[in-house]
Amino acid sequence: MTRLGIDKMFAAGIARLETLSSAAAGDIAAVTGMQLAVAGRVVRIFLEYREEFDALVPDETYRAEREKLRDLVKELEVFCDDYDHAEKGWSDEDVRRKRKLRQSRTETVLRIAVVLARMGQVERVLDLDRMTYRRKLSELRSFLEAVNAEASLGRRLVR
């Protein structure tokens, strides 16, 4: 999702996690002007978020969120590496693979955004939106390193 899409969701008043996890794709598409397929992916991701995170017990160091973020960053790295490899080819199969990998990268970044938002890192989500995928990975690794260091010292992570 682009920054414009996020801004449209905020402007429409549907950027709250509670709202997104109960919204219909058609409603999001109608209100924001985003494509129905993209709105559908947003809804699916937020439903998955709700199921996954409703079971978590919050703690001051965001242990579960840090673990989930670590796994998602690894997943994003694999998709980026695979895309870089597929980008060299121009066969029909390469074109299909690149399309699928672009979608996978986008969905993974949306999942990362949800985890970061849960950690109170909304501004970081907006900053990441303007970056290349490689830069996102670098920034996310640095962020994880910093929050893991803070948590290992028993410090509460500041929102």
Q: Could you tell me the CATH number of the domain that includes residue 8?
A: 1.10.150
Alpha-carbon distance of 158 to 34, in angstroms, equals 33
Does 132 lie in the same domain as 113? yes
Host domain of residue 9: 1-55
Computed from CA positions of residues 6, 10, 16, 22, in that sequence, does the dihedral angle turn out positive or negative?
A: negative
Does 67 lie in the same domain as 128? yes
**8 A C-beta contact, residue 42 and residue 1:** yes
Does 16 lie in the same domain as 4? yes
Does 118 lie in the same domain as 98? yes
User: How far from the centroid of its chain's Cα atoms is residue 15's Cα?
Assistant: 14
The reported pLDDT for the residue numbered 2 is: 57
* Burial of 114 from C-beta contacts in 10 A (0-12 / 13-18 / 19+): buried
Does 152 lie in the same domain as 74? yes
Does 109 lie in the same domain as 82? yes
Task: Indicate the residue among 36, 55, 74 that finishes a domain.
Answer: 55
Angle at 131 between CA 128 and CA 133, to 5 degrees: 95
The reported pLDDT for the residue numbered 144 is: 96
**Residue 135, token pair as written in the block:** 């830069």
Does 44 lie in the same domain as 101? no
Alpha-carbon distance of 27 to 60, in angstroms, equals 35
Does 120 lie in the same domain as 101? yes
Give the residue ranges of the chain where pLDDT is below 50: none
Task: Indicate the residue among 9, 28, 55 that finishes a domain.
Answer: 55
Does 159 lie in the same domain as 105? yes
Does 29 lie in the same domain as 64? no
Does 22 lie in the same domain as 47? yes
Does 138 lie in the same domain as 74? yes
As for how many domains the chain has, the answer is: 2
Alpha-carbon distance of 49 to 53, in angstroms, equals 6
